[in-house]
Amino acid sequence: MIEVENGHLLSKHPDKCRFPHGHTRKVELIFEADTLDDREMVFDFKLIGRMIGDFLETYDHALCMNTEDPKFDFFKEAYGDRIIGFQGEDPTTEVMARTIYNHTKAALGKFVTDSDPEYPVRPDVKISTIRVWETTSSWAEYCE
C-alpha cells in the first residue's frame, strides 16, 4: 500500500465536496499470476515503486480537477503542475482508481517486455485490482 496526500474538488457534487479538500489516500495494488517464479514470488515488490512511484508522486500534494470546471484555468495558471486535470470528468476516487489501474497496467507491460534480468517480470503477471482509499472507511476499487 502506498500513501499519497492529495486534494480534489468535485464540481458536479451538490454539497461540500465541490470545494477543494484533501485526503490521505492509500493505493492498494493486487497483482496475480498463474504460478510463482523461481523465487516463489509473483514478482519482486521492489518493482512496484519503479512502475508507479513517479506517477503517484505527481499526485502528492496536488489538486485534481475536472478540466471543465470554470475555475480550472485559474488554478492551473496559479499552481502549474500541482493541478492535475481530468478531461471532462470529476476526479472522484473511482475515476482515480481507474486512472491508476490503466497506468499500472501499461507500466507492467513495459516491465514484461523490457525485463530487468535481476528482477524479471513474467508474461503471466497481471494487475488484478487497484483499490484507492479516500478515508479509513471509504474506498473505490477498479478492475477489468
* C-alpha cell, 115: 525485463
Which residue in 37, 22, 24 sits closest to 117, CA to CA?
Answer: 37
Per-residue pLDDT for the chain (144 aa), expressed as one digit of tens each? 899 999 999 999 999 999 999 999 999 999 999 999 999 999 998 899 999 999 999 999 999 999 999 999 999 999 999 999 999 999 999 999 999 999 999 999 999 998 788 888 999 999 999 999 999 999 999 999
Distance of CA 120 to the CA centre of its chain: 23
What CATH number labels 2-11+22-142? 3.30.479.10
Query: What is the distance between the alpha carbons of residues 6 and 28, in angstroms, rounded to a whole number?
Result: 15
Sequence ranges of the domains in the chain: 2-11+22-142
**Grid coordinates standing for 76?**
492551473
Q: Which residues, other chains included, contact 57 with Cβ-Cβ below 8 Å and sequence gap of 6+?
A: none
